[in-house]
Homo-oligomer: A and B are copies of this chain.
Amino acid sequence: MVTRHAFTRRDAILYALGVGAALGRAVDARALRFVYEEGLQALPTMAVVLGYPGFWLREPRFGLDWPRILHAEQAVEIHRPLPVEGAVRGETNIENLLDKGKDKGAVLYLRREVFDDRSGELLATVRQTSFLRGDGGFGGRRDGGPEPFPIPDRSCDIVLESRTTPEQALIYRLSGDHNPVHVLPEVARRAGFEKPILHGLCTYGVVGCALLTHLCADDASRLRRLDVRFSSPVFPGESIRTDVWLLADGKAAFQSRVVERDVLVLNNGYLEIR
């Protein structure tokens, strides 16, 4: 599946505001790199919205029980710093489909390669795992998915704090994910939540910003890889604490929790920096 996508500096800034890149640091020169036209850098996590084909699993021809689909994992590998404007081509492929049984569901692994549409260069590889809770038991292979990155069995080395605002999902969704579960209280309730939830990919971007600030000195070109497993949603306005374990060779593991409820939201986090 090929998706062409043109975007402007305004879109790159709006993505950064959507993941709270300037929260609490509005006149900080380093934060301005992500929200002001001159000297603008694209956040590496913006790869998740570039060349995004939309929520095609929802289309009737696939016959999926789409309201029960959960976003389970997200991984981004950056090959070249993302442009702040231009046009990209996203090529989405199914990498694997596992069958965990009728009661548990199926697990779908998608891989999207994002190319600069002019130069043809590969910018990023975006992997997304979805848990199709209502679509297991079709007789497929059960095992073979990648193992989640292990969290070290010791105290973490660094603790990072992030904020979100009650309006965060309203801004984030302008980058292209219009699922009403993030806005409308009745849709959120039908999906089993007490109120609208933050986009998992917004949480991913919020934590990505904190990691970029503290481990890469806000230099977008230094983040090479960022993988997470989603454990539980964040509600807009909550605070997020990220525990980081520094490993060898510019690698690190991390976990993120909502401070107010002490609930794990991102698990098996893994990043690589240059």
Q: A27 to B180, alpha carbons, bound, how many Å? A: 12
Residues of chain B within 8 A of A22, CB atoms compared = 166-167, 170
Closest to A186 in B: B29
Contacts of A165 in B (CB 8 A): 165
A178 with B26: CB separation less than 8 A: no
Does A184 make an interface contact (CB < 8 A)? yes
Bound-state CA distance A35–B236 (Å) is 15
The docked-state distance in angstroms from the alpha carbon of A178 to that of B166 is 26
Query: Interface SS of chain A: helix, strand, loop or mixed?
Result: loop
Known: A167-B17, A171-B17. A183 touches B24 (CB 8 A): no
The complex is assembled from copies of this chain, and their number is 2
CA distance A26 to B35 in the complex (A): 23
Give the chain B neighbours of A170 by CB distance below 8 A: 13, 17, 22, 26, 35-36
Q: A225 CB to closest chain B CB, in angstroms? A: 28
Known: A17-B167, A22-B170. A27 touches B185 (CB 8 A): yes
**Contact present for B171 and A171 (CB under 8 Å):** yes
Is the CB–CB distance between A27 and B171 below 8 Å?
no
Instruction: List the B residue with the shortest CB-CB distance to A188.
Output: B27
Structural contact, A196 and B166, CB atoms closer than 8 A: no
Q: Name the residue on B nearest A36 (C-beta).
A: B183
Q: How far is the CA of A68 from the CA of B271 in the complex (A)?
A: 49
Distance, CA A170 to CA B16, complexed state (A): 11
Number of chain A interface residues as a range: 20 to 34
B-side contacts of A171, CB under 8 Å: 17, 171
Q: How far is the CA of A100 from the CA of B26 in the complex (A)?
A: 38
Contact check: which of B36, B174, B236 meets A26 at CB < 8 Å?
B236
Which B residues lie within 8 Å of A17 (CB)? 167, 170-171, 174
Interface flag for A14 (CB, 8 Å): yes
> A196: which B residues are within 8 A, CB to CB?
26-27
- Tell me the smallest distance from the CB of A104 to a CB of chain B, in Å: 32
Q: Contact at A14–B174, with CB atoms within 8 Å?
A: yes
Residues of B within 8 A of A80 (CB): none
A37 within 8 A of B: yes
- Which A residues form the contact surface with B (CB < 8 A)? 10, 13-14, 17, 22-24, 26-27, 29, 32, 35-37, 165-167, 169-171, 174, 178, 180, 183-185, 195-196, 236-237
21 A-B Cβ contacts within 8 A? A10-B174, A13-B170, A13-B174, A14-B14, A17-B174, A22-B167, A22-B170, A23-B167, A24-B166, A26-B167, A26-B169, A26-B170, A26-B237, A27-B185, A27-B195, A27-B196, A35-B170, A35-B183, A36-B183, A37-B178, A165-B165
